[in-house]
A and B are shown apart, each in its own frame.
Chain A
């Protein structure tokens, strides 16, 4: 009887400890992240996160994670971001500017917090470089400050995308600093040589990351631009 009671008490204690431990773990940042991922998977969502936007706290943590893998060795001379100011421009300011130019923005999904479609260059502050209409994906931190902006534009004409890439590359070189990695010229001959042929310029600094890519996607040529603030 005593042995059975002791066994029961041990099992109860073990279950209690395991439950408390699990609850405590889930309330840590790592545990919370794992739980979120598992819930997404269990519900058939995208575990990569394309289908759900992160909250600002999660964005900030993701930013730290990204910086750890992409940080350079020196600070950028300046941090161009399509005319916006990283860590300062706020979501309301962006929404107001886009609205003034008749651009439609909506709450983002997955990789963005705010998505703006068909953005002409003229709608961007500071005489942003000309390019075909852009789709813009913005992310924001806990103070609604701009953390990153990603732009995607496409055009059936290789010269158009090639020129936009070259302009972006030149602007980054002169404003942020020399590219830390480059691959392939964006001239029409090179891009037209084959499917998914790419030209890339990447910029890694201690406080800033940018990358521009031009690619042959078969039915169109596409330019992607990324501008990210890296935390200290």
Chain B
């Protein structure tokens, strides 16, 4: 149960990264994400309460690395430069991008609605998935590939056991309404 929730949160975070920056207009009144009620097999608690901030940061970073290595190494290289301050205009882009992913991930799996990421800035978790993916025309195959080849490996390589992937991470990302909010927009 916990595993399912975690996977879902990760997916939400990454998918949000592919959309427009549309979170600013979201209300702060949403208390819990879709995975908050899921229970990890290993702990009986939700993913956020089971794994905590450090693990969520690690998974977030892993997803970004896997996606960039897999689909656009060149852009991956650019992301490794962004944040270096060279050129100066790139100083905050990568951390900001990752911060938004992380905020969505944390929120989706039972954490707070906003977080302070590793760059010291505050990011908001609740985001409009459909709006974020509008115009991207993501297919079911692309979605499945992303979950199978980037999200699940990011979880397992950071120590999340299979049982928790299934229990507290997966249900969010395989939920048909959630999938429908991303695919075919």
Q: Which residues of A contact B (CB under 8 A)?
A: 22, 25, 29-31, 33-34, 36-38, 41, 44, 46-51, 54, 58, 61-66, 69-70, 109-111, 135, 150, 152, 154, 184, 193-198, 211, 213, 215, 217-219, 222, 224, 226
Whether the pair B73, A65 counts as a contact (CB closer than 8 A) is: yes
Could you count the A-B residue pairs with CB atoms below 8 Å apart for me: how many are there? 157
- Give the chain A neighbours of B138 by CB distance below 8 A: 50
Whether the pair B148, A198 counts as a contact (CB closer than 8 A) is: yes
Separation of A215 and B148 alpha carbons in the complex (Å): 7
B166's contact among A33, A36, A58, A194, by CB below 8 Å, is which?
Answer: A194
Separation of A211 and B149 alpha carbons in the complex (Å): 10
- Give the chain B neighbours of A50 by CB distance below 8 A: 18, 71, 136, 138, 142
Whether the pair B7, A33 counts as a contact (CB closer than 8 A) is: no
**Besides the known contacts A36-B75, A37-B78, A152-B144, 6 further A-B residue pairs in the complex with CB atoms under 8 A apart:** A48-B14, A50-B18, A66-B69, A195-B174, A196-B4, A196-B7
Nearest-CB residue, chain A, relative to B171: A195
Separation of A222 and B97 alpha carbons in the complex (Å): 30
Interface of B, helix, strand, loop or mixed by DSSP: helix
Q: Say how far B91's CB is from chain A's closest CB, in angstroms.
A: 11
Separation of A135 and B142 alpha carbons in the complex (Å): 10
Stretch at the interface among B23-31, B48-56, B79-87, B117-125: B79-87
Q: Say if the beta carbon of B152 comes within 8 Å of chain A.
A: yes
Separation of A154 and B81 alpha carbons in the complex (Å): 38
17 A-B residue pairings within 8 Å (CB atoms) = A25-B87, A29-B74, A31-B87, A33-B75, A47-B97, A48-B71, A49-B75, A50-B142, A63-B73, A65-B76, A154-B141, A184-B162, A194-B163, A211-B149, A218-B170, A224-B145, A224-B149
Nearest-CB residue, chain A, relative to B70: A66
Q: Give B122-138 interface residues, CB cut-off 8 Å to A.
A: 135-138
A110's contact among B71, B77, B87, B169, by CB below 8 Å, is which?
Answer: B71
Whether the pair A34, B90 counts as a contact (CB closer than 8 A) is: yes
Whether the pair B176, A219 counts as a contact (CB closer than 8 A) is: yes
- Give the chain A neighbours of B90 by CB distance below 8 A: 34, 38
Whether the pair A37, B144 counts as a contact (CB closer than 8 A) is: no
Q: Say if the beta carbon of B3 comes within 8 Å of chain A.
A: yes
Whether the pair B68, A218 counts as a contact (CB closer than 8 A) is: no
Nearest-CB residue, chain B, relative to A33: B78
Nearest-CB residue, chain B, relative to A194: B166
Separation of A122 and B163 alpha carbons in the complex (Å): 38
- Give the chain B neighbours of A51 by CB distance below 8 A: 18, 135-136
Whether the pair A33, B69 counts as a contact (CB closer than 8 A) is: no
Q: Say how far B19's CB is from chain A's closest CB, in angstroms.
A: 7
Whether the pair A34, B19 counts as a contact (CB closer than 8 A) is: no
Separation of A41 and B71 alpha carbons in the complex (Å): 16
Whether the pair B76, A46 counts as a contact (CB closer than 8 A) is: no
Whether the pair A154, B144 counts as a contact (CB closer than 8 A) is: yes
Separation of A180 and B18 alpha carbons in the complex (Å): 32
Whether the pair A61, B136 counts as a contact (CB closer than 8 A) is: no
